[in-house]
Amino acid sequence: MTDLAHGKPATGTAPSSDHAPASRRDFLTIAGSAIAAVGAVCVAWPLLDTMNPAKDTLAAGAPVDIDLTHVQPGQQIVVLWRSTPIFVVNRTPDLLKVLQDPKDVALLSDPDSTVMQQPAYATNWHRSIQPGYSVLVGICTHLGCIPSYMPQPNSVNPGWLGGYFCPCHGSRYDLAGRVYSGVPAPYNLPVPPYHFLNKTMVRIGENPPDGGDYDLNSVVQI
Ligand code: FES
């Protein structure tokens, strides 16, 4: 399950179509429609309206704050930051177990994240600050489509361990955004700068106080 969320400026959510192939430009159109639909969505999720940031604030690249208490175990939300989709997943112990499964690792092109696609504080087996939450740029490193969140085993093909599937040309990533070998996408999904304000609030677009000066523009490829 994926929801499109708009974080509050340095303090997001409407539903998106999950599995249709979409480029980054298509996504922006989807996002615009989702914003227009907020009134209807509020019935299901009253927080949506209060968490919508001003569009010009987002476009300016201001950090956005996300309340993780509304992200259910196993759920993904999509947050807009700098007009870029950011995937935030509440990873359960079962989902995390896959990331260290030798069967998963054997499928990956860069399992140890040696290519500069993430900050130093997310250069680890789970590519995040806290294993339980992933924060990834939701843009395929092949040609910029939006990968689909497919956490269920066998949901893409028999033997699928769970991860992201890009329907445009078939690239695959695991649930840490690590790209499979032998697919069109050359690199892992980037990790944006982010940090935790407390146990349940994450700020996207800003490094931790001791996290250096990592900038998303420094990655090899978005
Ligand atoms: S854009 Fe994702 S596989 Fe080509």
Give residue-wise pLDDT tens across range 116-132: 999 999 999 999 999 99
The CA 8 to ligand 1 mean position distance, Å, reads 30
pTM for this prediction? 0.80
Atom of ligand 1 nearest to the CA of 183: 3
pLDDT surpasses 50 at 11: no
pLDDT surpasses 50 at 219: yes
Which amino acid is residue 74, in one-letter code? G
Q: Residue 206 in contact with residue 13, Cβ under 8 Å?
A: no
Q: Residue 68 in contact with residue 133, Cβ under 8 Å?
A: yes
Nearest residue (by CA) to ligand 1, atom 1, is 143
User: What pLDDT sits at residue 61?
Assistant: 74
Give the model confidence (pLDDT) of 35-88 as tens digits: 333 222 222 233 333 344 555 655 567 999 999 999 999 999 999 999 999 999
Residue 21 binned pLDDT confidence (cut-offs 50, 70, 90): low
Most informative mutation of 136, 148, 171, 180 for ligand 1 (most atoms within 8 A of CB)? 171
Most informative mutation of 169, 183, 187, 222 for ligand 1 (most atoms within 8 A of CB)? 169
Taking alpha carbons only, the member of 56, 11, 51 closest to residue 34 is 51
pLDDT surpasses 80 at 106: yes
Q: Is 185 in the pocket of ligand 1 (CB under 6 A)?
A: yes
Q: Is 169 in the pocket of ligand 1 (CB under 6 A)?
A: yes
Share of the chain above pLDDT 90, in %: 71
Q: Is 145 in the pocket of ligand 1 (CB under 6 A)?
A: yes
User: What pLDDT sits at residue 1?
Assistant: 54
Residue 20 binned pLDDT confidence (cut-offs 50, 70, 90): very low
Assigned CATH topology for domain 2-218:
Rieske Iron-sulfur Protein (2.102.10)
Helix %, strand %, coil % for the chain, to 5? 20, 25, 55
pLDDT surpasses 70 at 202: yes
Residue 27 binned pLDDT confidence (cut-offs 50, 70, 90): low
Q: What gap in Å lies between CA 198 and CA 196, rounded to an integer?
A: 5
Break the chain into its structural domains and give their ranges: 2-218
- Decide the pairing of beta strands 2-5 and 76-81: parallel
Tokens (6 digits) for 31: 């996002």
